[in-house]
Amino acid sequence: MRVKLKYFGVACVALVLGLVAFLYGVLRASLPQLDGELREAGLAAPVRIERDRLGIPTITAANRIDLAYATGFVHGQDRFFQMDLSRRLAAGELAELFGKIALEQDARARLFGFRHVAREVLEQATPQQRAVVEAYARGVNAGLSSLYSRPWEYWVLGSPPATWRAEDTFLAVYAMWWDLQVWDAPDGVSADPPVAEARAAVPAADVPTPDVLDVRGAQPLPSATPAAVARDPAAGSNNWAVAGRLTTTGAALVASDMHLTQRVPAVWYRARLRTAGTASEPALDLNGVTLPGQPLLVAGSNGHIAWGFTNSYGDWLDVQLAPCTSVGEEELQTPSGAVRLAARREEIRVHGDVSRVLEVKSGPAGILLRAAPQKQTCWFGSWLALVPAATNMNMMGLERAASVQEALALAPDVGIPHQNFVVGDSQGHIGWTILGRIPTDTGARRASGRSPWSTADTHPRILDPPVGRIWTANARVTADERQEAAIGGDEASLGAEYDLGARVRQIRDDLLALERPATAADMLRIQLDDRAVFLARWRELLLRQIDADSVREQPLRAEFKRLLAQWSGRAGVDSVAYRLVRAYRDRTQQAVWEMILSSLRITPDDSPPTPPAQFEEPLWRLVTEQPLHLLAADYRSWREFLLAQLDATIAELRSSCGELARCAWGWRNVAHIQHPLSRALPFLAPLLDMPALALPGDHDMPRVQDGDVGASERFAVSPGHEEQGYLHLPGGQSGHPLSPYYRAGFLEWARGEPLPFLPGPAQHALTLQLE
């Protein structure tokens, strides 16, 4: 019997080992070929793909069409699953891969019909652009087919990968429209634009008098204990340029770090894209980051100009409330009459289940987003992303732009999600504009796309400001009222949807403090600046409140004050004081916000969960000027209110940390950058995810890091001097966990250690030969 059990045990172990070996073999079979030759149809000439120690490809082709094919080839080899998710997100086709769990997201996306719009965009492309897009699609499918096995994610999901189509390139663009713009709540701003005649961006409003707003005398809603609500990590970025007269090389110096939700693999894909050049087509040498799904360089250098982006947060969409009493098949009834509706049917395919049919209705004010006739409310939305002419491939023109002037001239016709575009050239010039098509209509209906587009004469721009520096960080850039209106539309006086402005002011001050000719190393120091300039005044406010009277028989308050004395002035991972001040400010802000809304009898369901970014200045005036009529009757004084927020903050922190002294910022600010499937496969998370690390930084400082939201790339480069630049990503080139390039470069990004901007010596070489 024992012998039989022994043999049975050995057989079980052998079976398990065999299964593991089989799965490992299947997994390894989807690793790409990096050396040798492959025969490919559709090329005009051989293409060489070299990879360095980080897996960064240098692609050398005879012409732009072959270059697009080879770019698609390496994207298909290394990042197909990422590209697939991107197009499916925009098209509303995730349920076809993931099943019912993705139905709600697909239904939201199908409202916009992006696959239909993408087909229209492809149709309107120029012959050259279309040839590039189609060559890229062929290259993607060739790269995918070159794998001995489908990418591993499709074995897990039980579905084969779907062919990449030319229109999918535009769906990848619409995924970025979605990430960067989809139905943001409007904010305001206060920041200094980079021009000599800078003025206050938004005039400070007076504190409302009791006849305008009387919080103390109002009948509030039933009280609830305010809770500190996590700040929404909106997509944002930093970039700036320093004029050549202030740099060591004499060329402009451009720095970029785009802040997005970080994921595995990284959002961007590093590449060097080269063509040999002919008499009719000059050579190209593009270096920087690409977006898997697109055949273009997104940000970096072409040897003559360098550029980067930050999200513009302008007024590019509109949501309108319409009173309605009923919604029928073809019309909507309002108190003033009927409104005609158009309808289209969207079939959502569901993996492992029956398809669902969604009916999407639209009217003169846009898409019907939500209908609640029982409450007599219907919401319509319009968005420039839905206008086919707002998206195109004209960004290709940057590849051959030789000067800042040429780059700025391209801007009005470039169709991408509207970005602050900062550019510098090898001659030392710098400039800013909005890259993205801007309607001339500045009214509430501008997002419908019915008005003409801006031209070179009306498009916002700044060229060579006297200060010799340009900076953007999702706040106001220009002081010109006409340009402000072009970006902010009818919200321009409120600051459009800009960020608070603390981050951009700190960047400005860092740039203006440079006392010697600037280098790339100086740019990295600014990008890694985690000084807590914004919260310093909140610490001082706290110290004033925690006086001798307030700590009498209050040991926890006394400990809080003692820990504040250890303030380093930075959002460092070991800083307890930073976390304490940050938590107190957040809680106080939320309590004041809810107090005001309650006095106006606005319920949480009818308001944003967190205040807009520009609530900071009104908040600061309230807690420092302390007008009694703007304080709820529950409190005898503002001092009592502020101490109550202190006690609540202490209770929350102790609940989280156990002891206040253990509440270091690093325990709260952990970057856990995950693969999309790791939550469903937790036993594989150590293999799939990047190492979870506590990192310095926060929102209102140059080094933005809030959990897994932070710099999706960092670089600085002077065009023509790329060998002196640096570039790193929060992850490796490959999307395959068995690849040596899966995590390559991640730790350097986390530590802020620069990696060369240019790819290094070739360690692998693959030639795509004509079939």
Q: In this structure, are residues 613 and 187 in contact, taking their beta carbons and an 8 Å threshold?
A: yes
Q: Please give the structure tokens belonging to residue 427.
A: 């001659």
Please give the average per-residue pLDDT across 576-590, as a whole number.
Answer: 97
Question: Quick one: pLDDT band at residue 558, thresholds 50, 70, 90?
Answer: very high
Structure tokens at 452: 């003409």
| 132 phi, psi to nearest 5 deg | -65, -45
Mean pLDDT score, 316-340:
90
Mean pLDDT value across residues 547-568:
95
Q: Is 274 domain-assigned?
A: no
Q: Which of 51-65, 68-82, 202-216 has the lowest mean pLDDT?
A: 202-216
**Distance between the two ends of the chain, CA-based, in angstroms?**
63
How many domains does the chain fold into?
Answer: 2
Contact at 8 Å (CB) between 521 and 253? no
Contacts for 745 with CB less than 8 Å, ≥ 6 apart: 54, 728, 729, 731, 732, 755
pLDDT at 646 over 80: yes
Does 209 fall in a domain? Answer: yes
Q: In 3D, which of 713, 670, 714 has the Cα closest to residue 689?
A: 670
pLDDT given at position 531: 98
Residue-level pLDDT at 4: 58
Summarised one tens digit per residue, pLDDT across range 118-145 is 999 999 999 999 999 999 999 999 999 9
Q: How many CB atoms lie within 10 A of CB 481?
A: 10
C-alpha span between 84 and 88 (Å, rounded): 6
pLDDT of 633 reads 93
Per-residue pLDDT at 232 exceeds 80: no
Q: What is the pLDDT of residues 395-449, one digit of tens each?
A: 999 999 999 999 999 999 999 999 999 999 999 999 999 999 999 998 878 999 8
pLDDT at residue 113 greater than cutoff 90: yes
User: Is residue 586 over pLDDT 60?
Assistant: yes
Confidence bin at 186 (pLDDT 50/70/90): very low
Least confident of 9-23, 42-56, 154-168, 536-550: 9-23
- Domain presence at residue 227: yes
Most confident of 193-197, 215-219, 701-705: 701-705
Q: Domain end: 663, 685, 716, which one?
A: 663
The DSSP bridge pattern shows strands 36-40 and 764-770 to be parallel
Q: Summarize pLDDT for 614-635 with one digit per residue, the tens.
A: 889 999 999 999 999 999 999 9
Is 92 within the bounds of a domain? no
Mean pLDDT of 44-51: 97
CB 57 within 8 Å of CB 127: no
The per-residue b/e assignment along 682-705, b for 16 or more CB within 10 angstroms, e otherwise, is eeebeebbbeebbbbbbbbbbbbb
Confidence of residue 7 (pLDDT cuts 50, 70, 90): low
Examine residue 25 and state whether it is found in any structural domain, yes or no.
yes
Q: What is the mean pLDDT of residues 585-609?
A: 85
Burial of 217 (0-12, 13-18, 19+ CB in 10 A): exposed
- Contact yes or no for 264/689 (Cβ under 8 A): yes
Q: Is it the case that residue 687 has pLDDT exceeding 70?
A: yes
Range of 545's domain? 185-233+533-568+576-663
| Structural domain contains residue 646 | yes
Higher pLDDT, 491 or 459: 459
Say if residue 203's pLDDT is above 70.
Answer: no
pLDDT digits (tens, 9 = 90+) for 294-306: 999 999 999 999 9
pLDDT of residue 188: 32
Average pLDDT over residues 158-171: 97
- Distance of alpha carbon 266 from alpha carbon 79, whole angstroms: 10
Give tens-digit pLDDT for 251-292: 999 999 999 999 999 999 999 999 998 877 899 999 999 999
Contacts of 469 (CB under 8 A, 6+ apart): 194, 240, 241, 242, 243, 246, 430, 508, 511, 512
Please report whether residue 540 resides in a domain: yes
pLDDT more than 90, % of the chain: 79
Rg, Å, the chain Cα set: 28
Residue type, 552: R
Where does a domain end: 624, 643, 663?
663
Averaged pLDDT of the chain: 91
Query: Is 459 a residue whose pLDDT tops 80?
Result: yes
> Last residue of a domain, which of 637, 663, 689?
663
Rounded to an integer, the average pLDDT of 37-47 is 94
CB 643 within 8 A of CB 587: no
In-domain check, residue 156? no
| 223 compared with 199, residue with greater pLDDT | 223
| Amino acid 309: pLDDT | 96
pLDDT score recorded for residue 26: 72
The pLDDT, as a whole number, for residue 510 is 98
Query: What pLDDT is stored for residue 184 in this prediction?
Result: 42
